[in-house]
């Protein structure tokens, strides 16, 4: 009878809960690794940066679809409190939602938990950064990882932190690197098993990059993979002299994970200095690479380098996307250098590379089929026009893969820059570019959502933006997808045709990846814009 009595009490509590409207959030459970692996079973939640380990940024939710998408309305708005003009960096966060609670990061060390139904804050944490931090591209942060009862993030002064998910209290705080030398964290970490995977930014400061794994319970570092090999390690021979010590290759965008093989796929950024090859002759491994690492040990299984000896700032820090189809195990990436790469996930061998944007740097392929750089592409004193420009044909903002349409979506930007030499002496902590670059007078300066066949790289449709867009993309089983633009529009497209079905003016440039979740049986779409988080739903 005790059981019955307990059951009665449970029923009674549930009834009260329903009456008070908190039934949806009363069932908060720990976020286990098993839940992260099987995230498709709970589409109401969004538990990793890209929605799943494969990097798809796709949701199986269907309540909002092609039939009713045009009726979407704003449900709530949350202001982070950071300047909305981007002067402290853009609001680049993709939030997580677990069991009715939204967790996100804002600019300048802000972390928050919200009631995902209303946007009302539950807790807020703000970390004071040292006055002399110098993150290259704004005081930004792209999000959190969640595991157990903690959320994890990296700071602008190169700390890794764990906060209690229910209160926002600091659980642990470890220093990963010296911020005074240009190291910072902007990436959303990835939780794998009991490890928190994270990698720094700082390719414009002559850092030496790494990928780290921390014990989620204690903050103890379990392994580090140095993305620039030291003396005696494979790949070291691709650096001239001592240049490897300040070789860059940061990993500032969240990677993917394949539970079947326990492989972590992480990408790396430009070699340092970012725009000058003199002094670092060689391929400069493992800059601009896709790395396949053993998730338990950080051991390198294979690598694929997209751009050898990069002098145009073409970081490979775009989300790699895992696709399994027809017995093929692929990993694909729309790379900043303008090519869409299809790589065999088992061997690391390139299967194809096809331009998806304007490219003038490569007119041939090497023996492996990789686009090879033309002879004269380096910056010159007078300036050399190269396409894409330094910001790339795409950048860190997330693509999306829709398994229903079978299409890969990417925001592609058409830009060309003039690259002019500007040699700099390395000084620890100082900017270290080595050249100047500005938009060419004839730079198209436009952007478009492009739908690609991920098995061939061929374009199926495009939706043109007025200018370059730095918005990530989201697709759903409702047959729809979302993009944002630089003019502040949040836009719903038919995922099969690219036809615009709805848009909303947010009042702030969209520099983030949209996501979706459901609470109390209602689906929401969320996106960061300006300095505010918006949630949309059906009327």
Partner 1 sequence: MRYSGWMPLVWSTILILSALPPALYAQDRNPYAGDPQAAEAGKSHFRINCALCHGLGARGGARGPDLTRAQKRHGNSDAEMFRTIHDGVAGTDMPPAIGSIGVEMKDQEIWQVITYLRSVQVKAPPPTGNPEHGKALFYGAGGCSKCHMLEGKGGRLGPDLTGIAGSRSIESLVESVREPSKQIVPGYQTVTVVTADGKDAKGCLMNEDRFSAQVMDTSEKILLLDKDKLRSFQKSPVSLMPPYTASALSDKDLEDILGYLLAVSAK
Q: Binders of partner 1 among 99-158, rule CB under 8 A?
A: 134-139
- CB of 488 closer than 8 Å to CB of 505: yes
Q: Which stretch binds partner 1 (CB under 8 A): 20-28, 168-176, 359-367, 483-491?
A: 483-491
Task: Based on the shown chain and the rule CB under 8 A, indicate whether residue 351 belongs to the binding site for partner 1.
Answer: no
Q: Which tokens in the block code for residue 55?
A: 């990097």
For partner 1, the closer of residues 230 and 427 by Cβ is 427
Contact residue for partner 1 among 298, 465, 475, 515 (CB under 8 A): 465
Query: CB within 8 A of 306, min separation 6: which ones?
Result: 288, 289, 290, 314, 316, 333, 335, 337, 339, 341, 370
Kindly tell me which residue out of 37, 180, 391, 431 binds partner 1, with binding defined by CB under 8 A: 431
Distance separating the N- and C-terminal Cα atoms of the chain: 46
Which residues between 356 and 385 bind partner 1 (CB under 8 A)? 383
What are residue 105's DSSP bridge partners?
111
Q: Any residues with CB less than 8 A from the CB of 266 and at least 6 apart, and which?
A: 197, 199, 211, 251, 255, 290, 291, 293
Q: Are 59 and 48 in contact (CB under 8 A)?
A: no
What's the min distance (Å) between Cβ of 364 and partner 1?
31
**C-beta closer to partner 1: residue 45 or 395:** 395
Distances (CA, A) of 421 to 248, 288, 311: 19, 21, 11
Separation between Cα atoms, residue 185 and residue 153, nearest integer Å: 8
Q: Which is nearer to partner 1, 17 or 383 (CB)?
A: 383
Q: Is 167 in the site for partner 1 (CB under 8 A)?
A: no
Interface with partner 1 (CB under 8 A), residue total: 32
Is 89 a binding residue for partner 1 by CB under 8 A? The answer is yes
> Out of 108, 313, 315, 417, which one is annotated catalytic?
313
Give the angle 394-387-200 at the CA atoms, nearest 5°: 45
Nearby residues of 106 by Cβ (< 8 Å), 6 or more positions away: 80, 81, 82, 91, 93, 112, 141, 531
For residues 268 and 316, the answer to whether their CB atoms sit within 8 Å is yes
Shorter beta-carbon distance to partner 1: residue 32 or 487: 487
Q: Does 488 help bind partner 1 (rule: CB under 8 A)?
A: yes
**485 in catalytic set:** no
Q: Is residue 32 near partner 1 by the rule CB under 8 A? A: no
Under the criterion CB under 8 A, does residue 424 sit at the interface with partner 1? yes
Select 216 or 451, whichever has its Cβ closest to partner 1. 451
Instruction: Show which residues are catalytic.
Output: 313
Residues that bind partner 1 (CB under 8 A): 87, 89, 134-139, 383, 420-425, 430-431, 433, 435-436, 438, 464-466, 485, 487-489, 491, 500, 503, 505
């Amino acid at each position: 009878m005790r059981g019955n009595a307990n059951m009665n009490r449970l029923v009674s509590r549930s009834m009260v809960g329903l009456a008070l409207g908190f039934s949806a959030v009363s069932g908060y459970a720990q976020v286990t690794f098993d839940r992260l692996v099987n995230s498709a079973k709970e589409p109401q939640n969004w538990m990793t940066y890209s929605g799943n380990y494969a990097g798809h940024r796709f949701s199986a939710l269907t309540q909002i679809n092609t039939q009713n998408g045009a009726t979407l309305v704003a449900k709530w708005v949350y202001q982070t409190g950071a300047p909305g003009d981007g002067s402290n960096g853009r609001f680049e966060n993709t939030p997580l939602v677990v069991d009715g609670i939204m967790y996100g990061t804002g600019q300048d060390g802000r972390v928050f938990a919200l009631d995902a139904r209303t946007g009302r804050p539950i807790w807020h944490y703000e970390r004071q950064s040292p006055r002399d931090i110098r993150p290259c591209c704004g005081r930004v942060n792209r999000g959190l990882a969640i595991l157990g009862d903690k959320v994890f993030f990296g700071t602008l002064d190169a700390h890794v932190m764990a906060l209690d998910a229910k209160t926002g209290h600091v659980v642990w705080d470890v220093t990963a690197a010296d911020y005074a030398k240009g190291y910072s964290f902007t990436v959303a970490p990835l939780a794998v098993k009991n490890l928190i995977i994270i990698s720094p930014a700082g390719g414009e400061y002559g850092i030496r990059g790494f990928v780290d794994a921390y014990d989620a319970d204690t903050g103890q570092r379990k392994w580090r993979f140095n993305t620039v090999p030291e003396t005696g390690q494979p790949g070291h021979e691709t650096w001239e002299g001592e240049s490897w010590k300040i070789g860059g290759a940061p990993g500032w965008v969240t990677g993917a994970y394949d539970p079947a093989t326990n492989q972590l796929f992480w990408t790396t950024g430009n070699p340092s200095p970012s725009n000058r090859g003199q002094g670092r002759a060689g391929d400069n491994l493992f800059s601009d690479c896709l790395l396949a690492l053993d998730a338990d040990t950080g051991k390198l299984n294979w690598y694929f380098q997209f751009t050898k000896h990069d002098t145009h700032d073409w970081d490979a820090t775009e989300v790699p996307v895992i696709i399994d189809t027809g017995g093929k195990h692929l990993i694909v990436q729309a790379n900043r250098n303008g090519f869409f790469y299809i790589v065999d996930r088992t061997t690391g061998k390139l299967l194809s590379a096809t331009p998806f944007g304007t490219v003038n740097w490569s007119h041939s392929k090497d023996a492996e089929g990789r686009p090879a750089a033309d002879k004269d592409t380096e910056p010159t004193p007078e300036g050399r026009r190269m396409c894409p420009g330094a910001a790339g044909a795409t950048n860190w903002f997330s693509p999306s893969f829709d398994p229903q349409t079978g299409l890969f979506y990417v925001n592609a930007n058409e830009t060309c820059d003039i690259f002019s030499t500007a040699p700099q002496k390395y000084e620890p902590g100082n900017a270290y570019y080595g050249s100047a670059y500005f938009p060419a007078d004839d730079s198209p300066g436009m952007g478009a959502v492009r739908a690609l066949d991920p098995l061939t790289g061929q374009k199926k449709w495009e939706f043109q933006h007025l200018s370059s867009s730095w918005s990530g993309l989201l697709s759903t089983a409702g047959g729809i997808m979302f993009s944002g633009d630089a003019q502040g529009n949040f836009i719903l497209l038919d995922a099969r045709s690219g036809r615009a079905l709805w848009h909303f003016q947010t009042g702030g440039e969209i520099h983030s990846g949209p996501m979706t979740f459901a609470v109390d049986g209602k689906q929401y779409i969320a996106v960061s814009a300006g300095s505010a988080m918006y949630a949309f739903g059906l009327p």
